[in-house]
Copies of this chain bind each other. A is one copy, B any other.
Amino acid sequence: MSIQHALLVSLLEKPSSGYELANRFDRSIGYFWQATHQQIYRELGRMAERGWIVADNAAGGDKRQKKTYQVLPAGREELIRWAQTPDPSPHGGRSLLVKLRAEAVIGPLGLDEQLREFMAQRQAQLDIYRAIERRDFSPERMTPARRLQYMVLKRGITMEEGWLEWAQEVLPLVSRTPPPA
């Protein structure tokens, strides 16, 4: 998943302290990615070690005072590298959301291939659910228990459909070659 890359995007959008990031994470990206402040501080520390980000706080030792972090070129490159690496996990959609925000701050990343692959995966999962639906949930013989089980499956189905419709709408925004009128 990588919280680090989500943090990089947030920092590119606006240099911030760990505390601010922790609060900001409640909004926007926050429904999809939640992170505690300890988690955020840890990852900020690591990214600083790796030279991806710096705190503006010059020499003063580790006094307990506000540190505003900024993204360094190495961090920017790492974000681009990550954004161009497909995430085949079932939560690939969440990654794509972060990648879209990345594209919004640092320009075209060529995400259309990843998006198409993602759509193919969602379609495949949807087909599986549809098959189960036809096999196990025909309108006859619908006991109350079966109806409840069906609602669970239905949530899976509409989730997949939701991602597919969304991806369909995103596609023209990330395509290098817009479809001819």
Contacts and interface: CB of A to CB of B under 8 A. Distances in A.
Interface stretch (A43-51, A77-85, A165-173): A165-173
A93 B156 CA distance: 12
Contact of A158 (B29, B166, B174): B166
A104 interface: yes
B148 A166 contact: no
Given A105-B145, A158-B162, A162-B162, A151 B31 contact: no
Given A125-B31, A153-B28, A103 B148 contact: yes
Nearest to A91: B34
B166 A28 contact: no
User: Chain A's interface: helix, strand, loop or mixed, by majority?
Assistant: helix
A152 B90 contact: no
Most chain B CB atoms below 10 A, which of A28, A148, A170: A148
A155 interface: yes
Interface in A93-135: 93, 97, 100-101, 103-105, 125, 128, 132
B28 A97 contact: no
B162 A148 contact: no
13 contacts: A28-B132, A29-B152, A31-B125, A31-B156, A101-B148, A104-B146, A104-B148, A144-B173, A147-B173, A151-B169, A154-B166, A158-B162, A158-B165
Q: Which 4 A-B pairs have the closest CB atoms?
A: A104-B148, A104-B145, A100-B148, A97-B152
